[in-house]
Amino acid sequence: MRVKEIMTVNIAYCTPETSLKDVAKLMLEDDCGAIPVLENKQSWKPVGIITDRDIVTRAVAKGHNPVDMKASDCMTKEVFTVNPDDEIEVCYHVMMNHKVRRVLVVDEDGRCKGIVAQADLANQVPDAEAESVIEVISQPA
């Protein structure tokens, strides 16, 4: 099975300049906990990812007012990617090796085409493999 068969397409996204308030609104509207941060709306090249946890730990918990902040203030800059034509095993190896719950899917030009979350894999791989992947990803880094 290939990544393109399980990835979520038509994803919400933001740019580094997007306000955290707007990022949170996107998460609410799309019922998701992670938003790719793209260089700009023309290139579609990911420069980060921002999660609801990033907002809580990097803004709220530190006493910053999230309303005054941008995505670039809280985003994780290191992004791990796979290709739509990769086998899903490549995807879960990336997740396990880097202990991440979400991987962006990019085309050969590095443009964001979708996202694969831990839950997407768990629903597609045999139970024993899914348990192993989730266990490794969930361990503290």
Distance CA 3, CA 80 (A): 14
For the chain, the domain total comes to: 1
Is the pLDDT reported for residue 126 higher than 70?
A: no
Predicted confidence band of residue 96 (pLDDT cuts 50, 70, 90): confident
Residue 111 belongs to domain with CATH number: 3.10.580.10
Longest dimension (CA), the chain: 45
Instruction: List, for residues 21-33, the tens digit of each pLDDT value.
Output: 999 999 999 999 9
Q: Is the dihedral of CA 99, 111, 120, 17 positive or negative?
A: positive
Is the pLDDT reported for residue 92 higher than 90?
A: no
Q: Indicate the residue type of 21.
A: K
Mean pLDDT, residues 46-67 taken together? 94
Given a contact cutoff of 8 angstroms between Cβ atoms, the answer to whether 1 and 113 are in contact is no
Is the pLDDT reported for residue 42 higher than 60?
A: yes
Provide the residue range defining the domain that includes 25: 3-138
What are the tokens at 119? 């839950």
Q: Which of 118, 113, 102 is nearest to 51 (CA)?
A: 102
Mean pLDDT, residues 66-76 taken together? 95
Q: What is the pLDDT of residue 119?
A: 84
* pTM score, whole prediction: 0.87
Q: What is the pLDDT of residue 120?
A: 85
Is the pLDDT reported for residue 131 higher than 70?
A: no
